[in-house]
Homo-oligomer: A and B are copies of this chain.
Amino acid sequence: MARPRAFDEEIVLTAAMHAFRTHGYARASVSVLEEATGLRASSLYNAYGDKAGLFRRALDHYLASFVGPRLKVHAGPESTLEDLEGLFLTLLVPPYDDGQGCLVTNSAAEFGSAPSIATDGVRAGVTALRRHAEEVLARELGPSAAPTAAARLVLLYQGFLVLGRAGLLDDGHVAAIRAEFVELRERRSPNRPSTVEDENRRSPR
**A residues with CB within 8 A of B:** 22, 24, 26-27, 99-101, 105-106, 108-113, 122-123, 126, 130, 147-152, 154-163, 165-168, 172-173, 175-177, 179-180
Contacts and interface: CB of A to CB of B under 8 A. Distances in A.
Contacts of A113: 99, 165-168
Q: Assembly of this chain: how many copies?
A: 2
Contact of A122 (B108, B110, B147, B166): B166
Contacts of A27: 26
B159 A157 contact: yes
B176 A151 contact: yes
B108 A112 contact: no
Given A27-B26, A113-B99, A152-B179, A123 B159 contact: no
B126 A152 contact: no
A175 B151 contact: yes
B112 A165 contact: yes
A130 to B, nearest CB: 8
B168 A160 contact: no
